A and B are shown apart, each in its own frame.
Chain A
């Protein structure tokens, strides 16, 4: 071949194919790549692409001695996660990897397996005050019911997706779509969901939710009443009355305890909805995706005419939502009708401060699953002992190295924040069910006591020596080190 290639093209001589490899690409084998003009062995082949798409520095997996110590995680300590470890299902046999290592002078064992979870789901916390849909209504993906709307919590709406009834209890299509939806959410991908009689949302773990095409930026600073309390002092003297529009509790400065204490004069303002206590109103409008989680786009719609007995011409009124994203400023004309005016400089700061105090709105995805019979049998010949050991905090449960919250009560039902796990940690099988990594770490002595498969324990060094298809990832900074021996009284 006589073609002239760019100067940073390298010719690989690792095999007789003699590939020309361009910068940032791999050769025909996908094992040798051109990294910054240098021929580098990359093993396994996914490493190069992953690192490129994430913008993180490439970690060359060099074969020469001393360049790489073969560890999945850099540094002194190495923890073998279950991601890609394989599974024993449906055979009742020892987990694919049972690894021993010494940590702070203590012999520890980590049982590493991937679980097939048909009893699993995700809990979604969507930071929004917008009305996503009535409680108990179906949440759908691709038209199939995959979960339901559950409780509204502080500044957020909870959705519960998956679970065995959607995965295997419905039609084949329902199961398949549920599985896909859970898989995508757990792997950090964006998913589009619609709620019966409600909104259409796009959500991804750790990302702001998009409600009816609109990206949520901020959580509300508080309910409308709380907002009045927080900002009353800053408004006093600069405006005659303030309405903080909120689907939950709309606050009115002049009637609110905070206003009264400051001596704010009565303004004759009148508002739709049901009065809870002075200055606090429920149901000023229908829930929706407008101001403060109501369905209104024109805030004047929630006001009744001002009472002539108290109101006066040129009365200054600020209306603002609980996130500060929407605001409007009015002055009353001679017939006591509000006329919109530009927001005075003196009030801008308070509106911005509401916005500033609203935390970023995110979607949180917690995977929840139960470690069942065959999975526990991969750990011990007497599965209930594993449950007991977990409950007594002798055994730590992690998912891809991320800490798992274990529910009290029977069984090993756990929850994990998927953003604390390495990327693409989840897989699926067409059962349909999700495949999730799970690791059980405990003292070697305790492992023997609970009837563990001690004959299958292999030293860490031996596992690491099988360099093929191991991938090195760095432990996430906020995760506790999974191998650390338990201390008494520690929360796992």
Chain B
């Protein structure tokens, strides 16, 4: 039986929680009281349609993308398609790699088209779309592993730098990964682009054939996975520092390449407590943001699944 979509305010009275099937959004807007109300209403109205729209073309969205693939129809789906297309030449990818980011962006755009907001975010399980008015900013708490309450730092995004999307991918997350990264967090101009790139970089953090890594065909775990018979990571044993470094090197090369192609702004790669950061060139940061990545501060948004019932650790 179809569960109705959940639309509610969280107990803090400030954040909107939208939930439908596998989609779970935490939204917060800042602005005048009326404008916030208008934005939340617009978000909810747009939200309740999205899952059905996506599901109507699910088989296509689960298919590998190549140059002459059929284009999907829905606006959310088209955004997914466009975001994964640049990666399709070099690796296996389906539009589903960008679904979370695209949904976040879609709802955010409904909000900002409806009204004027100082700033707003839509957090879709760690894939986050940001809206920043003039001179506005957000502090993002970076979570190292989704299964642990562990922050490794926080970063500031301000209006003057181009980042409006953050996404995290890794084998411990909700989606399957072909790689072994605990988490790869990516900053990009849009949440959809960040989502696709995080998937690709996390896949590239890998040690092919390493005996300590357990992999299973995706279909054996989830029969209708878009990854089909591709081997997805289920467990990673303890690696030596040298091995961790080699895997991170491989991911960092991918991240550098995506950055050179203008697909991402920066990325932080985590594997067994080691972190590699692929930075944007510093001039992209405004001077007030030059402190940049890995700065400590009180986070306003977390880079992973945000708790809906109460505050998270830290």
Contact = CB atoms under 8 A, between A and B. Distances in A.
B1 A13 contact: yes
B239 to A, nearest CB: 14
A86 B147 contact: no
Interface of A: 1, 3, 5, 9, 13-22, 25, 27-30, 45-46, 84-87, 90, 96-97, 114, 116, 180, 424, 427-430, 435, 466-470
Contact of B1 (A14, A46, A84, A466): A14
B150 to A, nearest CB: 6
B310 A14 contact: no
Contact of A84 (B20, B24, B59, B149): B149
Interface string B9-36: 0010000000011101000000000000
Given A28-B22, A85-B310, A16 B2 contact: yes
Nearest to A44: B309
A470 B11 CA distance: 14
B312 interface: yes
Contacts of B59: 1
Interface stretch (B80-88, B206-214, B219-227): B219-227
Nearest to A177: B273
Contact of A466 (B11, B153, B296, B311): B11
Interface of B: 1-3, 11, 20-22, 24, 51-52, 55, 58-59, 147-153, 174, 220-224, 273, 296, 298, 307-314
A84 B310 contact: yes
Nearest to B294: A430
Of the candidates B24, B52, B223, the one having the most CB atoms from chain A within 10 angstroms of its own CB is B223
A84 B148 CA distance: 11
B11 A430 contact: no
Closest 6 CB pairs of A and B: A15-B21, A427-B149, A86-B311, A16-B55, A468-B309, A29-B22
21 contacts: A5-B223, A14-B21, A15-B21, A16-B21, A17-B55, A20-B222, A28-B174, A29-B21, A30-B22, A30-B174, A84-B312, A86-B310, A90-B298, A96-B310, A116-B314, A427-B148, A427-B149, A427-B314, A428-B150, A430-B151, A435-B313
Of the candidates A16, A22, A46, the one having the most CB atoms from chain B within 10 angstroms of its own CB is A16
B309 A15 contact: no
A435 B150 CA distance: 10
Contacts of A90: 298
B51 A86 contact: no
Given A1-B59, A15-B51, 4 more contacts: A15-B20, A18-B55, A28-B21, A466-B310
Contacts of B298: 90
Contact of B314 (A15, A85, A87): A87
B314 A435 contact: yes
Contacts of A45: 174
A180 B24 CA distance: 31
Contacts of B296: 430
A81 to B, nearest CB: 13
A487 B314 CA distance: 36
Nearest to A428: B150
A90 B299 CA distance: 12
A53 to B, nearest CB: 11
A288 B148 CA distance: 38
B22 A15 contact: yes
B50 to A, nearest CB: 11
Given A87-B314, A430-B296, A16 B11 contact: no
Given A15-B22, A19-B224, A84 B2 contact: no
Contact of A20 (B51, B147, B224): B224
Of the candidates A19, A45, A116, the one having the most CB atoms from chain B within 10 angstroms of its own CB is A19
Contacts of B149: 84, 427-428, 435
B2 A14 contact: yes
A85 B58 CA distance: 38
A86 B313 contact: yes
Contact of A17 (B58, B150, B311, B313): B58
B21 A84 contact: no
A201 B150 CA distance: 26
A468 B221 CA distance: 26
A209 to B, nearest CB: 19
A308 B308 CA distance: 84
A472 to B, nearest CB: 14
Nearest to A462: B11
B147 A22 contact: no
Of the candidates A20, A28, A435, the one having the most CB atoms from chain B within 10 angstroms of its own CB is A28
Contact of B2 (A13, A20, A21): A13
A5 B152 CA distance: 42
Given A86-B310, A469-B307, A427 B150 contact: yes
Contacts of A180: 273
B2 A469 contact: no
A137 B43 CA distance: 60
Contacts of B21: 14-17, 28-29
Contact of A28 (B152, B222, B313): B222
A86 B309 CA distance: 11
A470 B51 contact: no
B309 A469 contact: yes
Contact of B312 (A9, A25, A27, A86): A86
A430 B153 contact: yes
Contacts of A9: 223
Nearest to B241: A142
Nearest to B24: A29
Contacts of B20: 15
Contacts of A25: 221-222
B149 to A, nearest CB: 3
Nearest to B142: A430
A180 to B, nearest CB: 7
Nearest to A9: B223
B2 A429 contact: no
A1 B51 contact: no
Contacts of A29: 21-22, 24
A135 B149 CA distance: 35
A84 B153 CA distance: 19
A46 B3 contact: no
Nearest to B308: A468
A4 to B, nearest CB: 10
A469 B311 contact: no
Contact of B313 (A20, A21, A22, A114): A114
Contacts of B55: 15-18
Contacts of B314: 87, 116, 427, 429, 435
A85 B307 CA distance: 11
B313 to A, nearest CB: 4
